[in-house]
Structure 1
């Protein structure tokens, strides 16, 4: 299995368009189509409903899309681990209470983005119980929460 075929399929689903996905990946539209077809042939099933506008994945395509995204993230992490001097990349999912989300975090978030341009920051506002659940479920990487002082 070729990770470039997975990238092509994920890009098509993300953009809903072969043309937009091809532009994003710097491929020709026929080249992108060939990559998606390679993946469909390998898996033995259609992954895209080509009659829908924008393009949408089939039921099987939705499952493959979720798995393909995980594979691509894992490959990125593997590549980053192999290059310890490289700058951090990937996604950092941060949970904060609503009153911190806009006021106190604007500057620190801007500094993080400036320092690590390849790192995607996702900030989620929520109350402490929901943020703790997000950490437990793996939906958040880090969160600022308030807990009662212990006696």
Structure 2
């Protein structure tokens, strides 16, 4: 069975538009149609029906789709196992959220250069919602994002690290002994609105305020897409930041910032996602990410700033045969 035929089947199941998939696979729509017809003849079933300008999976196509995914995954693992790591070549498009830039990125780039010198990295930084969308569109190969359950059977997701979240302020801004009462006098700054870290922080802030009898109308909560900006504002005494403590460890050690003894939101989980039928270069890159995370955690775990996450690999509904 030709693996390219299976790849075409899976690609069209994900994006049921011949022309769009043909452009992504550097082929013609006619060539893709021939691959699907050949696969249908070999399997003895119809996989798609035509609906106006798009395709739709038949019942048989939906039933066979997870089996095709499993075969492709096995083929890629076989190819990967057959190559020494230093012989792996290609280009891997890696998207990451900003937290990764300030933590894992330098170690990751160094490890890639040492262990996968034949792989070219194409790096980008974005919000998790955009990273996931770009991965699903095939515009990224691997993403490092906020951990959550994948909704697609075409994606493998693995939680890597948990970063503890802390209330951070300039040392003379809030009296730590009276932090619970004083903190609501100031602007409270957290990560980008409508993200999981933001929602978790706001939930804790609102509960604390309610417990202290502070009306919601008196709360001043602001958000920023830039963690670096939040830290800079906190250093200037322009508010209290609710951020991963590891990002300001040096400023805390120097006494420029202090950690306030207040209840904290749930940890921020960093996860990596890639397609089920990822290339050997992408799979090797994912292994290096795992190694980098383990080493980074070993260095920074003292103090409770960071911990390895539950590393169970998951995919979305309908991923198994």
* TM-based fold match above 0.5: yes
* Aligned pairs (5 A) from 1:128-147: 140-144=157-161
Matched residues in 2 for 1:142 and 1:125: separation?
6
State the number of aligned residues: 127
Whether 1:123 aligns to 2:140 is: no
Aligned pairs for 1:58-137 within 5 A: 58-84=58-84, 85-87=86-88, 104-108=99-103, 110-111=105-106, 112=108, 115=112, 117=121, 120-121=142-143, 123-126=145-148
Alignment CA distance shift 1:103-1:19 (3 Å): closer
Q: Which residue of 1 aligns with 2:57?
A: 57
Alignment TM-score, normalising by the size of structure 2: 0.33
1:36 offset after TM fit, Å?
0.3
Give structure 1 stretches of 5+ with no counterpart. Answer: 90-100, 131-138, 147-151
TM-score (norm 1): 0.63
Contact 1:80–1:86 (CA<8 Å) still a contact in 2?
no
**Which protein is richer in strand relative to its size?**
2
C-alpha distance 103-12 of structure 1, shift in aligned 2 (>3 A): closer
Q: Which is bigger in relative contact order (C-alpha 8 A, separation at least 6)?
A: 2
Q: Contact 1:10–1:69 at 8 Å: present in 2 too?
A: yes
Relative to structure 1, the CA distance from residue 72 to residue 63 in structure 2 (aligned partners, 3 Å threshold; closer, same or farther) is: same
Which of these two proteins has the greater Rg computed from alpha carbons? 2
1:32 deviates by 0.9
Q: CA deviation at 1:83?
A: 0.9
CA–CA distance in 2 between the matches of 1:29 and 1:67?
24
Q: Measure the CA separation in 1 of the matches of 2:25 and 2:72.
A: 14
Given the alignment of the two structures, is residue 28 of structure 1 paired with residue 56 of structure 2, yes or no? no
- Alignment deviations for residues 84-143 of structure 1 (CA, whole Å, 9 cap, x no partner): 224499xxxxxxxxxxx96643434655479464962353425xxx8xxxxxxxx64443
Instruction: Measure, in 1, the Cα distance between the counterparts of 2:49 and 2:38.
Output: 16
CA positional deviation for 1:75: 1.2
Q: Matches of 1:108 and 1:77 in 2, distance apart?
A: 29
- Separation in 2, partners of 1:108, 1:52: 48
**RMSD value, Cα:** 3.5
**Kept in 1: contact 2:22–2:28 (CA 8 A):** yes
- Aligned pair in 2 of structure 1 residues 109, 73: CA closer, same or farther (>3 Å)? farther
**Distance apart, 1:48 and its partner CA:** 0.9
